[in-house]
Amino acid sequence: DAGITQSPRHKVTETGTPVTLRCHQTENHRYMYWYRQDPGHGLRLIHYSYGVKDTDKGEVSDGYSVSRSKTEDFLLTLESATSSQTSVYFCAISDGTDTQYFGPGTRLTVL
């Protein structure tokens, strides 16, 4: 998985609780992305980062925030989890080309 780890790999939480997912890379790539994958929708971009402290919204950013204080770490926070945020979350990295490399994913269930 191109030196990308995600934690936790599985999480079950309750509606209304905050949740933070972590993506860690060892490739020193500048760009990092958070996607969610749902049946019938494919991969949809939530947020992305183009450098430390530089982030921007993707197409499904409502209810999510991100932070990047170090090159290697990109955090995704669900401020108050809802059942519609039950999904598989993937982190991806890029070295500045169009190709992105994905992590193993985090399976999140919101009850």
Does residue 102 bind another protein (CB under 8 A)?
A: yes
DSSP of the chain: -TTEEEE-SEEEE-TT--EEEEEEESS--SEEEEEEEETTTEEEEEEEEEETTEEEE-TT-TTEEEEEEETTEEEEEESS--GGG-EEEEEEEESSSS--EE---EEEEE-
Does residue 75 bind another protein (CB under 8 A)?
A: no
Does residue 64 bind another protein (CB under 8 A)?
A: no
Does residue 99 bind another protein (CB under 8 A)?
A: yes
> Pick from 1, 8, 70, 111: which binds another protein (CB under 8 A)?
1
Does residue 8 bind another protein (CB under 8 A)?
A: no
> Pick from 30, 65, 71, 109: which binds another protein (CB under 8 A)?
30
> Which residues contact another protein by CB under 8 A?
1, 4, 29-31, 40-45, 48, 50, 58, 90, 94-105
